[in-house]
Amino acid sequence: MFYMNESKIILTSIPQSDGLIKLRPTLVLRKMPLYGDLLVCGISTQIAHYIPEFDEIISETDSDFKSSGLLQKSLIRLSFLTILPQKNIKGSIGQISEIRYNKLINNLSAYISKGEFKNN
């Protein structure tokens, strides 16, 4: 079993919207209490799904792109959340910057606490 810190990009199999299960990079947002399951969000190269002021796009020109382990411009999708047991993690490929991680957490927290999104 891997121990994954928040802000790590991991590889795991997660269900897609079409019901298929696909190995994909995901971002560890938070380790959940008691059992240590992980709250993660999917990462996609489908930039068209970007939600401004909510998601994050990470590009080859960003200072944390190389450390992310991603191979191309990608979308960190806060609207693609799931909970995973740590035993389902295949490995870690990298990590995003603390600044980007905190921005994502703040975006998600603001959405949850308000119960609405201004672009709805």
The rounded distance, in Å, linking the Cα atoms of 60 and 77 is 17
Q: Roughly how many angstroms between the first and final C-alpha of the chain, as a whole number?
A: 39
Does residue 50 sit within a domain?
yes
Does residue 43 sit within a domain?
yes
What's the pLDDT score for residue 117? 58
* pLDDT over 60 (residue 120): no
Say which CATH number the domain at 108 has. Answer: 2.30.30.110
User: Which residue range is the domain that position 104 belongs to?
Assistant: 8-114
What's the pLDDT score for residue 115? 67
* Nearest alpha-carbon partner for 7 in 90, 113, 94: 94
Residues 65-119: pLDDT tens digits? 999 999 999 999 999 999 999 888 989 999 999 999 999 999 999 999 986 655 5
List 30's β-bridge partners, or say none.
39
Residues 2-40: pLDDT tens digits? 456 899 999 998 877 777 888 899 999 999 988 889 999
Domain count for the chain: 1
* pLDDT over 50 (residue 1): no
